[in-house]
Amino acid sequence: MKSPYLGEIEPNKPATATFLVHSKEVRQKKTGEPYLSLVLGDRTGEIDAKMWDNVAEVMETFDRHDYVHVKGLIQIYNNRPQFTIHRMHRVDAATVDPADFFPTSQRDPEEMFVELRGLLSQMQNADLRTLLNLFLDDEQIAARFKKAPAAKYIHHAYLGGLLEHVLSLVKLCRLIAPHYPGIDADLLIAGAVLHDIGKIYELSYDRSFGYTDEGQLLGHTVIGYRMLQEKFQQLPAFSRRLRTLLEHMVLSHHGQLEFGSPKVPLFPEALLLHYLDDLDAKMECMRALIANDRHNEGHWTNYSASLERVVLKKLEYLAEGRKEELDVAMPQPDASSGRAAEAPEGQAAAPQPQPPRPGLPLTSSPPRTSSRKGHDRTTLGLFGEKLAEALQRRE
Ligand SMILES: [Fe+2]
Ligand SMILES: [Fe+2]
């Protein structure tokens, strides 16, 4: 197994690790000397990397999609982590496990595929069920569907990401469809399964994530539409009008002409599919942005171009608030003795607030009360000195 992963490397500590080269540029310093500007990655993420010195000896020895062994350290530059490389050399691809270098869904694709098929088997419309089975029984489609990411960068950009996105969307469809009268749940679900199916051929995901020539030239909505035509040839009795509705859902799911849809959604299931697809993509995008922002201090993430905003790291924000309140609630030391003021004789001292214990997860959920009279350290920490005073007065 590869060690360490990018996600395990602490900033400002020398590190040695193997990465896949996602991009490589040779640039020039003001002095005219070359330097390397790279994007390196493994299954836990990717990072900008720069090599400033001794570049001439290594710059021709490796290329994009090669594996490299690097020595250097992560530093925070312009509020973003950057790997400064001191030494590097190319590594033979036969000596590494490719699975270590691609971000992968946390769920087993086979398990997700079985779950998806179980949900689809509950569809009432036999024609739609047959159509979806034609896709999922196709060995080449199924193999790629289990492997494909949902995007190169923006959301679910990891192996198995497309299947995870579709499974999530099918579950959302099952929840939302009964809420609106007249929605055909089976049509909505069929649209969810097929809306991004063209991505299995739009994206390449063998050595790094990118676009195939077909993907660049046609895009996944058109590729998906073409795949639909191939399968419909095997179903001559399929309702022509239902077929047109499904085709419209695939073509309109991006919602707006400027986002690549030739038509905007023109009936309720198509509109719902567009919004649920957008919701699922944005929720995952926000989750990943927060999860991958661990090098930045404070409670705001870096700017996300895809979400067009910075995002609040809620747990850090609340934890900082608790710390501030603890600092305010902490009693002042007795100036003469240097000890905390003692409780009056015969009266038990009120529990003193304590800083949070290291290693405990920071959570925004309300604390459970455990000590007598229904308050404890955590409660005092949360509500501050006013509550502590009030409780002391009551005692
Ligand atoms: Fe799409
Ligand atoms: Fe999608």
**CA 77 / ligand 2 centre spacing (Å):** 34
Q: Measured at the alpha carbon of residue 101, what is the angle toward residues 304 and 52, in degrees to the nearest 5?
A: 70
d(CA 387, CA 222) in angstroms, rounded, equals 62
**CA 253 / ligand 1 centre spacing (Å):** 6
Average per-residue pLDDT for the chain: 84
Encode pLDDT of 74-84 as tens digits.
Answer: 998 877 889 99
Average pLDDT over residues 344-351: 41
**CA 195 / ligand 1 centre spacing (Å):** 6
**CA 48 / ligand 1 centre spacing (Å):** 28
Average pLDDT over residues 180-200: 98
Residue 343 three-state SS: coil
CA of 149, nearest ligand number = 2
**CA 244 / ligand 1 centre spacing (Å):** 18
Specify the pairing of strand 45-51 against strand 34-42. Answer: antiparallel
Phi-psi region of 361 (alpha: psi -120 to 50; beta: other; left: phi over 0): beta
**CA 277 / ligand 2 centre spacing (Å):** 5
**CA 145 / ligand 2 centre spacing (Å):** 13
Encode pLDDT of 272-325 as tens digits.
Answer: 999 999 999 999 999 999 988 876 778 999 888 889 999 999 999 999 988 888
**CA 73 / ligand 1 centre spacing (Å):** 38
Domains of the chain: 6-100 (2.40.50.140), 109-292 (1.10.3210)
Global pTM reads: 0.73
Nearest to 231 by CA among 137, 314, 306: 137
